[in-house]
Amino acid sequence: MEHQTTQLQDATLPLEQDPHRVDPLGDGISSVALVRASGSDVDVANAARVSYGKVTDVVTERDKKLIHFLLAHNHTSPFEHNQISFRIKAPIFVARQWMRWRIHCRATKIGARQWMRHRMHSYNEISYRYVKAPVEFYIPTAWRFQDTQNKQASVGAFENKELLAIYKASIEQSYKAYEQLLEQGVCREMARATLPVCTYTEFIFTSNLHALMHFLKLRLGAGAQKEIRNYAAALLALALPHFPVSLGIWQELYVPEIKDEFTELFTKYAG
């Protein structure tokens, strides 16, 4: 059976016309673009059934029940025989939260043999050692309050023009210092230390379904920061058409409310 690989991003299209690219923060700068999807739900079914020497070319109702069973009972290895890559443009503070999820190892011992299972994400990021940072910053449209129950979370929303002016002035001062250092001959790798974490960065993010679902389960959680939740929802919406059975079942099992919360996003990109 031929392995399915699809190249997706069209860099010539405006963002609003590209069916494989989302602006998750709605500021015309942020971006999640699906670059490549390799594999399908058929690969999941075949990986699960290889123990019995079975091979299929299409996903049957029986296969759908099998995939549901695998996801419901955390039998995850059949979801690792695929690859999906995204090009991400995000504020540095979002990227640093994101890249915490690189590798997870589990060691099990069977008799005298020890096996290591790796759940991996791969990243390559633009370097502001090599290029000058762009004048692109995340400016929130509203502020949130600190959650008094969950120390790492935020709640509510309010507007305050005075606070926004303070925020923007801080960014302007930081970038002015950055440019002044460069103008005086300071190397990029040192001058970049003045940049605020709301500066945009770009990176390629590659994963498999198992690792992606683990990431999404954490970053779509109620306690996750709003900005990275928007990115996680964009990942799911763009990947869903390429693995509709696996991701559709996973979504119903673990984040059933997401399609209602991000209705416009899923209607446009995931049907």
Return the active site residues: 219
CA distances from residue 5 to 40, 50, 79, 234 in whole angstroms, order as listed: 9, 21, 16, 20
Amino acid letter at 223? G
Q: Which two tokens stand for residue 215?
A: 């990431």
Q: Please identify which residue in the block is written with the tokens 């590209």.
A: 18
Q: How far is CA 30 from CA 14, 25, 195, 258, 262, in A?
A: 13, 6, 18, 20, 17
